[in-house]
Amino acid sequence: MSASVPTEQVPELAAEPRPTGQRRAGSYGAYLRRRLLQFVVVVFIGINITYVITHATPIDPVEQTISAATSFGSTSPEAIATMREALRALYGTGDNPVEQYVRFWRRVAVGDFGPSLSAFPTPVSVLVGRALPWTAGLLVVSTAISWVLGNLLGGLAGYYRNSTTLKLTGILAMAVHPIPYYIIAFVLLIVFGYLWPVLPISDAYDQGMRPGLTLDFVLSMVRHGFLPVLSLVMAGIGGWFIGMRSLVSNVVTEDYTLYAELAGVPRGKILRSYVMRNAIAPQITGLAMSLGAIFNGAIITEQVFGYPGVGSLLVAAVHAGDYSLVIGVTTVSIVAVSAAVLIVDLLHPLLDPRVRAG
């Protein structure tokens, strides 16, 4: 659920993202430099926040491991003291804070977050690496579908103002748009898990299947991914629809559109080459800005559908008190989202020359 107001509703914002006062034409290089700086700053601040918060926890992973090992079976207090010493040495939690911080950054720089404390000694990067492709796949597919479909339908709705079907679609979009990701996922779960169980509601593929590029496996993946993707698309499409519709209805009143219509250019061509192309620009900015929110939605959707991505991993890590894994997942999320935003920002000027100015 993002704090999103469709960008076109505030006309000044529609003309963004130029900072004011600078119109150095054609300086893609300067733009690039600024965006890279942004990326570095975000990642740095984000990782530091993560580190500080995590290390403010009073949770001691050694004590947790001991408790996990001694919850069943006979125990002896002295044996536990011995175990405590040994584990402390093994996990390396005995050093002073500054050393730990320096060591942390040195390792993060090469992507090493140390061993997971609830799946010792498997490295955190291995666990995250296993989960990340599922989340990435989910996000790319659902974002692409909702952005393209949303903008397409919105553009049509904005242009053909008198179509009843499009007006109804509009109302539907407005009704679904404000509903948070969790509720949509939950309702889909109820419908397809309890009332009409035709689709699988957990895992990424059928049990017993070997992952590989076989048709069977791909089909199984599609069946299992259907509900999570549907959930994310339903949650996201409304925003793009409403935004595009507004943008288009503004562009339609512009002079050049009227001129084209008077000049007898076919409606379809006007829609494609004049209206849509000019209206789409703020939507690309909007895409970059909402990637963070979409990621949040993906996390909770994964949890509801038992989809083995980073969202499920994060929740499991929190419940297990595994702070290496929690840091790892959070850091990777921050880097991934920032990188995605960077890519969108870098591609933007190639699509819209106005942006390149300053």
Contact set for other proteins, span 239-258 (CB under 8 A): 242, 246, 249-250, 253
In the chain, DSSP finds a helix count (H) and a strand count (E) of 15, 0
One character per residue 192-231, x = contact with other proteins (rule: CB under 8 A): -xxxxx---xxxx-xxxxxx----x---------------
313, 324, 349, 355: residue in contact with other proteins (rule CB under 8 A): 313
Name the DSSP class of 338: H
Contact call for residue 273 and other proteins (CB under 8 A)? no
Within residues 159-178, the interface with other proteins by CB under 8 A covers 174-175, 177-178
Site size for other proteins, by CB under 8 A?
Answer: 126
101, 160, 303, 357: residue in contact with other proteins (rule CB under 8 A): 303
Contact call for residue 324 and other proteins (CB under 8 A)? no
Q: Which of 194, 227, 195, 222 is nearest to 302 (CA)?
A: 227
Contact call for residue 21 and other proteins (CB under 8 A)? yes
Task: Quote the tokens at residue 94.
Answer: 């005995």
53, 219, 347, 350: residue in contact with other proteins (rule CB under 8 A): 53
Closer residue to other proteins, CB minimum distance, 260 or 293: 293
Q: Report the C-alpha gap between 311 and 304 in whole angstroms.
A: 10
Contact call for residue 296 and other proteins (CB under 8 A)? yes
Contact call for residue 100 and other proteins (CB under 8 A)? no
Name the DSSP class of 9: G
Q: How far is CA 70 from CA 73, 75, 115, in A?
A: 6, 6, 21
Closer residue to other proteins, CB minimum distance, 89 or 266: 89
Q: Report the C-alpha gap between 260 and 156 in whole angstroms.
A: 18
One character per residue 75-94, x = contact with other proteins (rule: CB under 8 A): xxxxxxxxx-xxx-xx----
Size (the chain), residues: 358
Stretch that binds other proteins, among 96-104, 141-149, 191-199, 221-229 (CB under 8 A): 191-199
Closer residue to other proteins, CB minimum distance, 168 or 269: 168
Nearest approach in angstroms of CB 241 to other proteins is 12
Contact call for residue 329 and other proteins (CB under 8 A)? yes
Q: Which helix (H) or strand (E) holds 242?
A: helix 215-251
Q: Are 327 and 54 in contact (CB under 8 A)?
A: yes
Nearest approach in angstroms of CB 5 to other proteins is 6
Nearest approach in angstroms of CB 137 to other proteins is 14
Q: Which of 176, 354, 356 is nearest to 280 (CA)?
A: 354
Q: Is 239 helix (H, G, I), strand (E, B) or coil?
A: helix
Apex CA 55: angle with CA 53 and CA 58, to 5°? 105
Contact call for residue 319 and other proteins (CB under 8 A)? yes
Nearest approach in angstroms of CB 9 to other proteins is 4
**In DSSP terms, which residues pair with 115 in a beta bridge?**
123
Q: Report the C-alpha gap between 228 and 184 in whole angstroms.
A: 10
299, 324, 349, 355: residue in contact with other proteins (rule CB under 8 A): 299
Compute φ and ψ for 121, nearest 5 degrees. -100, 25
Contact call for residue 300 and other proteins (CB under 8 A)? yes
Q: Which helix (H) or strand (E) holds 336?
A: helix 323-351
Task: Quote the tokens at residue 127.
Answer: 């666990």
Nearest approach in angstroms of CB 232 to other proteins is 14
Contact call for residue 48 and other proteins (CB under 8 A)? no
